[in-house]
Structure 1
Amino acid sequence: MPRVRELEVFRLVLPYGRRTESLLVKLTDYAGMTGWGEALAPQPKTWAQLEESLGAQLIGVDWEHPDAVPISDPAVDMACWDLWTRMRGVPLAEAIGGTRTSLVATVRLEPDPSLESLVSRVNQQVCAGYGHVTLDVRPGWDVEPVRAVRLAYPALTLAVDGGCAYSEGGQLAALDSYGVEVIERPFPIGDVYAHAALQDQVTASVAVEVRSPAELDDYLTLRAGRVLLLRPTAFRSLSEVRRTHDRAAAAGWDIQCAGGQGAGLARAATVAVASLPGCTLPCDVTQPPRNNQIVTPIVGANGGVVAVPLTQAGLGHVIDEARVHRMAKDSFRA
Structure 2
Amino acid sequence: MKIERVEVVHVAIPLVSPFRTSFGTMTTKDTFLLHVVTDGAEGWSEFAGDPRPLYCPEFVAGAEIVLRDFLVPRVVALPSPTAALVGPAVSGIKGHELAKAALETAILDAELRSYGMSLAGYLGAVRERVPAGVSVGIKESVAELLDTVEGYLAEGYLRIKLKIEPGWDIEPVRAVRARFGAALPLQVDANTAYTLADTEHLRRLDEFGLLLIEEPLEEDNLHGHARLQSRIATRVCLDESLHSARDTASAIAMDACRVVNIKPARVGGYLEARRIHDVARAHGVPVWCGGMLETGIGRAPNLALAALPGFTLPGDTSASSRYFAEDITEPFVLDDGHLRVPSGPGIGVEPLPEVLRRFTVRRQDLYGG
Q: Calculate the TM-score normalised by the size of structure 2.
A: 0.82
- SS at 2:138's partner residue? coil
Unaligned runs of 5+ in 1: none
Q: Within 2, Cα distance between the matches of 1:148 and 1:179?
A: 13
User: Corresponding residue for 2:53?
Assistant: none
Q: Within 2, Cα distance between the matches of 1:57 and 1:119?
A: 50
User: Corresponding residue for 2:220?
Assistant: 190
- SS at 1:173's partner residue? helix
- Provide, for residues 69-100 of structure 1, a one-character-per-residue CA deviation record: whole Å limited to 9, x for no partner: 33462111001111111111111011011111
Q: Paired residue for 1:132, among 159, 162, 168?
A: 159
Q: Paired residue for 1:284, among 311, 316, 320?
A: 316
User: Corresponding residue for 2:43?
Assistant: 35
User: Corresponding residue for 2:264?
Assistant: 232
- SS at 1:160's partner residue? strand
Q: Within 1, Cα distance between the matches of 2:199 and 2:29?
A: 30
- SS at 2:334's partner residue? coil
- SS at 1:108's partner residue? strand
- SS at 1:290's partner residue? coil
Question: Quick check: 1:172 aligned with 2:202?
Answer: yes
User: Corresponding residue for 1:50?
Assistant: 67
Question: Quick check: 1:110 aligned with 2:127?
Answer: no
Q: Within 2, Cα distance between the matches of 1:94 and 1:291?
A: 30
After TM superposition, the runs of 4+ consecutive aligned structure 1 residues lying more than 6 A away are none
**Judging changes above 3 Å, is the alpha-carbon distance between structure 1 residues 77 and 300 closer, same or farther for their aligned structure 2 residues?**
farther
Q: Quick check: 2:10–2:30 contact (8 Å CA) kept in 1?
A: yes
Q: Quick check: 2:156–2:334 contact (8 Å CA) kept in 1?
A: no
Question: Quick check: 1:4 aligned with 2:10?
Answer: no
User: Corresponding residue for 1:99?
Assistant: 126
Q: Quick check: 1:107–1:133 contact (8 Å CA) kept in 2?
A: yes
- Provide, for residues 213-262 of structure 1, a one-character-per-residue CA deviation record: whole Å limited to 9, x for no partner: 22223311211111001111112232111111111111111101112423
User: What are the residue-to-residue correspondences of 1:63-102 with 2, within 5 Å?
Assistant: 63=80, 65-69=82-86, 70-71=89-90, 73-102=100-129
Q: Within 1, Cα distance between the matches of 2:207 and 2:133?
A: 21
**Judging changes above 3 Å, is the alpha-carbon distance between structure 1 residues 90 and 117 closer, same or farther for their aligned structure 2 residues?**
same
Q: Within 1, Cα distance between the matches of 2:354 and 2:84?
A: 30
User: Corresponding residue for 2:189?
Assistant: 161
**Judging changes above 3 Å, is the alpha-carbon distance between structure 1 residues 169 and 301 closer, same or farther for their aligned structure 2 residues?**
farther
- SS at 2:120's partner residue? helix
Q: Within 2, Cα distance between the matches of 1:292 and 1:172?
A: 38
User: Corresponding residue for 1:255?
Assistant: 287
Aligned residues: 330
Unaligned runs of 5+ in 2: 16-25, 50-58, 92-99
Q: Within 1, Cα distance between the matches of 2:280 and 2:72?
A: 36
Q: What is the RMSD computed on CA atoms of the aligned residues?
A: 2.2
Q: Quick check: 2:29–2:293 contact (8 Å CA) kept in 1?
A: no
Q: Calculate the TM-score normalised by the size of structure 1.
A: 0.90
Q: Within 1, Cα distance between the matches of 2:122 and 2:164?
A: 36
1:44 to partner: Cα distance: 2.8
User: Corresponding residue for 1:205?
Assistant: 235
Q: Within 2, Cα distance between the matches of 1:20 and 1:126?
A: 24
Q: Paired residue for 2:35, among 4, 18, 26?
A: 26
Q: Quick check: 2:10–2:32 contact (8 Å CA) kept in 1?
A: yes
**Judging changes above 3 Å, is the alpha-carbon distance between structure 1 residues 212 and 60 closer, same or farther for their aligned structure 2 residues?**
closer
Q: Paired residue for 2:296, among 237, 255, 264?
A: 264
1:285 to partner: Cα distance: 2.4
Q: Quick check: 2:163–2:189 contact (8 Å CA) kept in 1?
A: yes
Amino acid at match of 2:46: E
Q: Quick check: 2:137–2:162 contact (8 Å CA) kept in 1?
A: yes
Q: Within 2, Cα distance between the matches of 1:140 and 1:212?
A: 32
Q: Within 2, Cα distance between the matches of 1:316 and 1:192?
A: 37
Q: Quick check: 1:183–1:205 contact (8 Å CA) kept in 2?
A: yes
Q: Quick check: 2:3–2:81 contact (8 Å CA) kept in 1?
A: no
Q: Quick check: 1:3–1:60 contact (8 Å CA) kept in 2?
A: no
Greater alpha carbon shift after TM alignment, 91-100 vs 51-60:
51-60
Question: Quick check: 1:147 aligned with 2:148?
Answer: no
Q: Within 2, Cα distance between the matches of 1:261 and 1:189?
A: 20
